[in-house]
Structure 1
Amino acid sequence: MNLDELNSLSEAEATHGFMQCCTASNWVEMMVSSRPFANGQELSSKADDIWRSLGEYDLLEAFEGHPQIGNVDTLRAKYANTKALASGEQSSVSQASEQVLQDLADGNAEYLQKFGFIFIVCATGKSAEQMLSLLLERLPNDKITELVNAAEEQRKIFQLRLQKLI
């Protein structure tokens, strides 16, 4: 799809498209109603402006749209060494050790218990070891700091997805 096609979608189709980028319903509604976008930069800027206007409820709703990395089998599949990763997003990911996978699963569980939402990070291009390092760096934070961190990571994620959308 290109930008002209996005601008021409029905409200329902546009809602579906934006929902693939971010599951915060208020963000999606405002993105749909902000069309048409003159160019990709306007789309990107508007997405950021809307995101920054949202409250904690909206952030948590967006975070819930991500699968929780909670068990070693899921992590093993995610970080398996493969040459066919979609769009090369995780091309720098190497095969992770069982210990790193277990530590990620344990850290994710601890994070959820402490903050009440899952660990959000823009994983594109990050190895399992890098993800674990980021998780361990963020675990000592307080909830407000972590909401800010997770919101910024979510912003990075939807910006990548918007680029893919058009």
Structure 2
Amino acid sequence: MESLIVLGEKEWLACCGSVKFAKEMASAGPFSSYQEAVGAASETWFNKVDVNGWLEAFSAHPQIGESPSKAHKSPTSAQWSKGEQSTALATATDTTLQELYEWNARYRQKFGFVFLIFASGRSTPEILAEMKRRYQNRPIVEFELAAKEQMKITELRLSKLFSANATAASTTNIQYASDVAKVGEDRVSCISGHLGAAKEIPAEKSAETFTRTRPPITTHVLDIARGSPAAGIEVLLETWDNNQSRPLFGQMDSSRNWKLQGSSTTDKDGRSGQLMKMVDNLNPGIYQISFNTGKYNPAGFFPYVSIVFEVRDSQKLEHFHVPLLLSPFSFSTYRGS
């Protein structure tokens, strides 16, 4: 027997700050799956919520780089906003933060609402580049783009609510087939404006339920020389597969000791596809992400770039986002969120 997930107006308001949206969705529920709820949310947001409702939802978000107001009507939404901007704040410098504030003001003066973007996992330079690009849009075009970004944020937050409800329901033997795993990763990794229902999970995965909403290891590449995402870079994820030793500094380790976990190519937003299967517990060990930078930039200094990092047993439930900031003659990385 299929179980139902019941969400009230307060929870829907945390996903999207429109009161009209929250009331419509609370009335439309309950829903039997994440996909069903996303489909109803998209239909409601784009076809039943008016312009005032869109603006109300936009105003529920703090400006990128700023903390939510203490008077925020949804504490849960405020907390989520803080988490969604964590990578941007972690990668900001005094200079880029000041530039972000200035562009926030320019954007708001032109369009009349806060700059809205699906910020999870995006650095301050990425967000600034996107804001400057979208600033050139006509107001009607930008208004629609902002609405699409709001829907992406709503879907991500909804996945968190469904995960939380599934955990609570398990204590009373209420179960549902989780659609969060692949859909969550699709939404986190896809920043381009697109609509529609979430992608289906392959049949063999349909019975699995994951706490995570994306694979435990992800990456993206930013071309800091061009000030834009780096598309078309081949990416490999490998693990050290020798239980008797570990890769040591100064030694040339045999490639036979590295086991391929997955490969992908960065999309137009610089994000790789899924590099490993969805698991809740990441195996401790040594991991290596390699980027075919020589093919991307034949005139550059680096034929390829490899980043080696360790996941300890105490970190197996954590998420590891390992971006590459690249120019023809330098690169850097950091642990994102």
The answer as to 2:17 corresponding to 1:26 is no
1: CA distance, partners of 2:108 / 2:84: 25
TM-score (ref. length: structure 2): 0.40
Q: Structure 1 unaligned runs (5+)? A: 75-85
**How many residues in Structure 1 have an aligned counterpart in Structure 2?**
145
Are residue 16 (structure 1) and residue 26 (structure 2) matched? no
- Pick aligned residue for 1:150 from 146, 153, 159: 146
Structure 1 residue 135: Cα displacement: 0.5
Cα offset for 1:67? 1.4
Q: What amino acid is the match of 2:60?
A: G
Mapping of residues 1-166 of structure 1, within 5 Å:
4=4, 6-7=5-6, 14-53=8-47, 54-69=49-64, 94-166=90-162
Q: Which has the larger share of strand?
A: 2
Structure 2: distance between partners of 1:128 and 1:91: 10
Q: Distance in 1 between matches of 2:92 and 2:57?
A: 28
Are 1:70 and 1:109, in contact at CA under 8 Å, matched by a contact in 2?
no
Alignment partners' CA distance in 2, 1:25 and 1:114: 26
1:21–1:161 contact (8 Å) kept in structure 2: yes
Larger-gyration structure (1/2): 2
Change (3 A) 1:68 1:17: same
CA apart distance, 1:95: 2.7
- Report the CA distance between 1:89 and its aligned residue: 5.4
Give me the whole-angstrom Cα distance separating, in 2, the residues matched to 1:92 and 1:67: 15
Which amino acid letter does the alignment assign opposite residue 97 of structure 1? T
Call closer, same or farther: CA 1:101–1:90 in 2, change over 3 Å: closer
* Residues 56-96 of structure 1 deviation map (CA, whole Å, 9 limit, x = unaligned): 1111010011113476xx5xxxxxxxxxxx9x856765532
In 1, are the aligned partners of 2:65 and 2:97 still within 8 Å (CA)?
no
Question: What's the offset of the Cα at 1:55?
Answer: 2.1
Counterpart of 2:34, as a letter, is G
1:93-122 CA deviation, whole Å, 9 max, x = no partner? 553222211111000000011111010001
Which secondary structure state, in structure 2, belongs to the residue aligned with residue 20 of structure 1? helix
TM-score normalised to the size of structure 1? 0.79
Structure 2 runs not aligned, ≥5 long? 68-80, 163-337
**Residues 47 and 131 from structure 1, CA distance in 2 versus in 1: closer, same or farther, beyond 3 angstroms?**
same
Deviates more, 1:97-106 or 1:108-117: 97-106
Cα distance in 2 between the residues matched to 1:69 and 1:121: 9
The structure richer in helix per residue is 1
Amino acid in structure 1 at the alignment position of 2:35: Q
Cα displacement string for residues 116-151 of structure 1 (whole angstroms, at most 9, x for unaligned residues):
101000100100110101100111111101101100
Instruction: Write the distance in 2 (CA, Å) between the matches of 1:117 and 1:103.
Output: 18
Q: Please give the alpha-carbon distance, in whole angstroms, between the structure 2 residues aligned to 1:136 and 1:149.
A: 14
Q: What is the percentage of aligned positions where both structures have the same residue?
A: 39
Match of residue 286 from structure 2 = none
Asked if the contact 1:121/1:154 (under 8 Å) is kept, the reply is: yes
Q: Does the aligned pair in 2 maintain the 1:107–1:135 contact within 8 Å?
A: yes
SS in 2 for 1:66: coil
Q: In structure 2, do the counterparts of structure 1 residues 18 and 32 end up closer, same or farther at CA, with 3 Å as the change threshold?
A: same
Query: How far apart, in 1, do the equivalents of 2:59 and 2:86 lie?
Result: 26
Bigger relative contact order, structure 1 or 2 (CA pairs below 8 A, ≥6 apart): 1
Aligned to 2:207: none
Cα RMSD, aligned residues only: 2.3
Q: Which moved more, 1:95-104 or 1:119-128?
A: 95-104
